[in-house]
Chain A
């Protein structure tokens, strides 16, 4: 590969991978702010 293609590819892929991982980890680690029974997700419900 020529140098400009390599730099361009690595920079683009690096940015996309970093942002994908960053946002997905944030989704996984953010604690729910709402009462679990009031939020949108069934698995958080305490009243089954």
Chain B
């Protein structure tokens, strides 16, 4: 007998929780950066086309799959998929719907904890009087768990644990008493903070408060349509990827939330409302905050350079400095609004990641709600701590790549095939339209059957074999150079560089350049090697290791720069992969046990 008696309090609460699930840090940090990196205005057209051809159909697929599974008491994807097909393999495909949530929550709660900490620092005026370099260094110090910016020892870990405890407590209150209440407070506040920042950004004036451009320069850059770029596959793939991540598709959260909707209640209108609300936050608020402010103070070229490694750097290393230009009081308000907005965006998403894990334990193992929530918190803490402690060793990026990127695309591709072709549109279409409060256009039936799976197959296979520099003309039967972020290159670890051994007595430079700076603090020695004015790399070594280069030396990739005892990043990367694979295997075993148990009880 299942202990799962979770229920939504109200329809508005469900829609806001689902929108909160979709609205995440990516709406404010990933979307603008994708737009910048894909030619500004060029990006919006493919983005909207992908929303209609992939985003909306996948929303329908996931809502319908969830509600279908819920009818049989399966609130998570493994056994819901098992109901949709006789082939036993599908329940293990459904494992992704639990695995991804744990893997993502493990590093996502860490980013959430940065936002929490930055609200605190903005309010107490920590950034007041800091120059741009000091604000950037503050972030780097924060990431180092052994340094403290507040006097609290192991501050990064403390905020991380605080964040997990908060998530666990809200989850233990259930859907109507916890998740829904946070969404009902968080979403309106997020929109309010967003509108405040958009107004400030748009009305930036060149020459006032140190701005070099009007706020509209950034908007102009973002919105000038460049029709020629529609021929560029890179822009289309980036747009498809963004739609995918922004709607939290391929994760198992949408299915889980929708599983608590009764068989004859509407899902189509709910899906459209939550989906468009996410687009409102992303396109209207997300595009009009960091780009106009950053371009207003730093110019287009500098912002393109700063966003080369993603939006997190721009958000946490640069924005607090830019807010300082508005004076101490407005800076504190803007900082609290911006990081508060990121925090609410984060927590509404991480709660959605916890719900499938809890639901699985309650459905299949009859765990009480509070026990299931605590189990989720404990798992995230165990799996997440390596991302906090070994952030700079590449663990965070590994989790993000395998758990938060590849798994989602693979899962969505397979679920669209399951829904449209295995379960079949004859049964699938009524699952979408039953009880609907809007008329779902019949064209979506054909899009779901033919277009969406093809787009997802293309997205997955192009991620697999992505060529270097995104130059698709280099593809040939003789082979081609892979992009370092392609799945095959990642599996082969082509981006590891010259330090390929787990444990070594020598450390080799990973970039060409000139030894710019050598310095020490009480714990470490540092070497900064600069390739050119826009690119440098800082290496950190324990004090007992000997530095064998001196300032001004020219070094090439592979040249020895230090001797002693080294544990290279490849070790941490392989260990995090092992941890993720073990987690996936562990969930597979749990699903197998749950399936056998249900078979014995005759409930499957």
List the interface of chain A (C-beta within 8 A of B): 1-2, 4-6, 8-9, 12-13, 16-17, 19-20, 23-24, 26-28, 30, 32-34, 38-44
Contacts and interface: CB of A to CB of B under 8 A. Distances in A.
Contacts of A8: 41, 44, 223-225
A24 B219 contact: no
A1 B12 contact: no
Given A4-B224, A5-B219, A28-B12, A39 B265 contact: yes
Nearest to B177: A42
A18 to B, nearest CB: 9
19 contacts: A1-B216, A1-B223, A5-B223, A8-B41, A8-B223, A9-B219, A12-B223, A16-B284, A20-B280, A23-B276, A23-B438, A24-B273, A26-B437, A27-B12, A38-B262, A40-B260, A41-B10, A42-B9, A43-B9
Contacts of A20: 273, 276-277, 279-280
A12 B48 contact: yes
A41 B283 contact: no
Contact of A39 (B225, B262, B269, B437): B262
Nearest to A25: B273
Contacts of B216: 1
A38 B261 CA distance: 11
A26 B438 contact: yes
Nearest to B224: A5
B224 A19 contact: no
B273 A27 contact: yes
The 9 A-B residue pairs whose C-beta atoms are closest, nearest first, are A23-B273, A9-B223, A5-B223, A5-B224, A20-B280, A20-B276, A1-B220, A40-B262, A43-B10
Nearest to A30: B437
B269 A13 contact: no
A23 B269 contact: yes
A34 B264 contact: yes
B351 to A, nearest CB: 18
Interface in B191-220: 216, 219-220
Contacts of B273: 20, 23-24, 26-27
Given A12-B44, A20-B277, A41 B223 contact: no
Contact of B8 (A6, A26, A41): A41
B11 interface: yes
Nearest to B435: A33
A16 B279 contact: yes
Nearest to B220: A1
B225 A5 contact: yes
Contacts of A19: 272, 276
B234 interface: no
Contacts of B224: 2, 4-5, 8
B192 to A, nearest CB: 16
B149 interface: no
A41 B13 CA distance: 9
Nearest to A6: B223
A16 B276 contact: yes
Interface string B257-276: 00011101110011011001
B116 to A, nearest CB: 28
A6 B202 CA distance: 13
Given A8-B44, A23-B272, A40 B261 contact: yes
A1 B126 CA distance: 36
B46 to A, nearest CB: 13
A40 B7 contact: yes
A28 to B, nearest CB: 6
A24 B277 contact: yes
B9 A41 contact: yes
